[in-house]
Amino acid sequence: MSSRPPGFFPDNVRYTAIPKIFLSDLLPKIDEVAELKITLYLFQALGDKRGYPRFVTYSELENAPMVLKGLAHLAAACGGSATDILRSGLDQAVLRGGFLRLKMQRAGKQEDLFLLNTPKNNRNMEKIIRGELPVHPDHTREPWQPQSLADQEENIFTRYENEVGMLTPAIAELLKDAESHYPSQWIMEAITEAAVHNARSWSYIEAILKTWEKEGRGDGKSRRDPEAPPDASRYYEGHYGEILKQRQRDR
């Protein structure tokens, strides 16, 4: 008779779906255990959800025994609490670009919703913020209201999504790298300037930052007089010029 121990997984084991692009593009870049655990918890929670759009709330994660138990040893190691690790892991997962965070409120109470970062969910977030798509985080009939767009934790990542387009994992990584080299305010203003000139690409944004780094920015504001019409000719010089000329050739 075999002495082999019984299998750890039952024969009818259930599976949690994980996007292949996560395994190929995001997983190799994750170096924090908290972020990895929270990401896996989010995949499981979203996979178990029904309704439209699918989201998981911060309260659901905070009150899930499995989540808190899984973070307890990390909290003990760093001298914090499991909820501290939870918040940190969620922040990292959102900044990595795999998930979206939407801030809601009702009767003075706030709630964070987390959605998978897909083009459809980006559109859903815009509809929710505009009041076109009601959501009920606590499954009651009374819908929660989104916080204003200005209160949705605007940073370099949300500014990119609002001004340029979908925040892909690759772009999120480029933004994180840029933030280690340039002030966040520079990056946000460079994103806006690129959008103003209808040059919505990371290459153009990076060119603006490199030009500011080389030539200086003085008071930290854009060199262009906001009251004057854009002078297109100056954008055909230096770093900007090469990018615009390439854009013209690619059309």
| Of residues 66 and 5, more confidently modeled | 66
In this prediction, residue 75 carries a pLDDT of 82
Give the tokens for residue 223: 């060199």
In this prediction, residue 3 carries a pLDDT of 61
Mean pLDDT of 190-194: 86
In this prediction, residue 9 carries a pLDDT of 82
Give the tokens for residue 112: 């964070």
Q: Where are the alpha helices (DSSP H) in the chain?
A: 20-21, 33-48, 58-62, 65-78, 82-96, 119-129, 156-163, 169-179, 184-196, 202-215, 238-250
Q: Where are the alpha helices (DSSP H) in 14-143?
A: 20-21, 33-48, 58-62, 65-78, 82-96, 119-129
Say whether 112 sits in a helix, a strand or coil: strand
Between CA 167 and CA 19 the distance in angstroms is 17
101, 112 Cβ separation under 8 angstroms? yes
Give the confidence band of 230 by pLDDT, cuts at 50, 70, 90: very low
In this prediction, residue 129 carries a pLDDT of 83
Tracing tokens 């914090």 back to the chain, one arrives at 80
Computed over every residue of the chain, the mean pLDDT equals 78
Which is nearest to 116 in space by CA: 185, 19, 241, 198?
19
Between CA 26 and CA 205 the distance in angstroms is 23
DSSP secondary structure code for residue 8 in this structure? S
